[in-house]
Structure 1
């Protein structure tokens, strides 16, 4: 697949890595926006399945305490 299909390819360059040239589907970070969205959804479902204490810890550490980010509100995720 061409690099333009990767979620991280924006404005002619990779936003995930500091590289001279995008390797397209040969890159270890390559994934489509649809695949990224699916993987995020699985992660959110897993986090929601955890007990309240663990869930709160993850929200505080990785989402700055903003549960709206975890829920995908505000167009963030």
Structure 2
């Protein structure tokens, strides 16, 4: 990823920290949760739910595997 794209991603995710987001992983699975932490490689969500209602306390996703991410609140 280019430096400019990383800077935009970092800037956006920093604003979204602590808020509910939805994301799609590898085009097959969608999750919602609270964005807790991120770095150049991974995003960590807390209080996670998937599209069929399964719930979990935490989810770690590689940024390269994310198709899209949306701010919910």
Q: Which has a greater percent of helix?
A: 1
The structure, 1 or 2, with the larger RCO (C-alpha pairs under 8 Å, 6+ apart) is: 2
Larger radius of gyration: 1
TM over 0.5: no
Interval containing the TM-score (normalised by the shorter chain): 0.3 to 0.5
TM-score (structure 1 length as normaliser) = 0.33
